[in-house]
């Protein structure tokens, strides 16, 4: 499990309170929403691969995502950027 800490000055924090009751809730909702979108993308990629290859798809969402990474069906943004740089160097 990962934990993120964001430090804001008192001025920055109070500035946020002008437009919201809970900056913590805003950040939590943003990250949760982004995770949901990323997971949906991974599940679609994995599902499409399993259908094309007539393989059984794991039942649990976490297992689908883990298997997608383990099998190289999806890469992190950093991994994709490295691949792109290598491809450009090999041109």
Extents of the domains making up the chain: 10-89
Instruction: Say which residues have a Cβ less than 8 Å from residue 43's Cβ, sequence separation at least 6.
Output: 61, 64, 65, 68
Flag residues of the chain having pLDDT under 70. Answer: none
pLDDT on residue 91: 80
Contact 21, 43 (CB under 8 A): no
pLDDT on residue 14: 94
Return the structure tokens found at 39: 């997971």
- Which tens digit of pLDDT belongs to each residue from 11-34? 999 999 999 899 899 999 999 999
Per-state percent for the chain, helix, strand, coil, to nearest 5: 65, 0, 35
In whole angstroms, give the CA distance from residue 11 to residue 18: 11
pLDDT on residue 45: 98
């Amino acid at each position: 499990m990962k934990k993120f800490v964001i430090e804001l000055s008192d001025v920055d924090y109070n500035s946020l309170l002008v437009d919201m009751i809970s900056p913590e809730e805003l950040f939590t909702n943003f990250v949760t929403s982004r995770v949901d979108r990323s997971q949906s993308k991974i599940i679609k990629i994995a599902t499409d691969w399993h259908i094309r290859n007539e393989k059984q798809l794991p039942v649990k969402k976490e297992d689908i995502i883990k298997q997608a990474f383990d099998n190289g069906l999806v890469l992190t943004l950093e991994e994709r950027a490295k691949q792109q740089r290598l491809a450009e160097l090999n041109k």
